[in-house]
Structure 1
């Protein structure tokens, strides 16, 4: 098994470029992207959504792919308005997140308008950007300009519009 980063042409083999429409298509694209990340050894994954309600993060296959992907030197970043839905709906993911806390950064932007926060999955090789979260329509692709523009947008949210959030453990009395 090859652990080197995928060349730009490899993601095209399994991940589409272009428009998508519908919740099922969106969820399948997320599943396929995480599986490709594990198989091709992507070094970084950045996911962003107002609440991750529609994302298949709690599915066994997705968490198993994340487990296969996770190792030292990898980075996983999450950005959300709120993580309440993640905690309620994606128990497997929450357990995985606790195990791999050392490679995961979670940011929260509670004051943001949920429609302003990008709904996206970014990697150095391929991106998924849900332009209309309510109708689940968006675009995917591996074009450099698409990847750079989305990363700059996400970086701006992290840098100036969010704070740390979603701790891996909750301290209580």
Structure 2
């Protein structure tokens, strides 16, 4: 197509690249043939007008917090930027830059009721999260996207130790 354009108008390729006035004066219908249709011709002219343009949207990446590189660097209440890596029926996993994804439970995705997490987030989304809880030994990170949500106090989820089974058995009733 480009060869046909330069031959028809007796110009060099360098003379037509980024030459807006010349390229807008072209009639794309004049270059349609068995191999190239109207849309393809228009795409070629657009590329000649702005060579090297990338039609994809701007690629955004999360900015991981400096100094937070491993699970043990995390502290409750930290607000971090991350990328959704997986969406499940119980929540979403978020890469926050510590080589271990954290979980945002379905109840912590938003202030509204969520039946399906994929209605709120999708893989690749960049999100702000707050660290709720960190279990370094089990490599578990609990996160929330509700930034006003407060972390659970330490040992809030742990049950009090149960008494020894022997102590739990009732002494036989005396007559």
TM-score by length of 1: 0.23
Greater Rg over alpha carbons, structure: 2
> Could you say which structure has the greater relative contact order, defined with CA pairs below 8 angstroms and 6 or more residues apart?
1
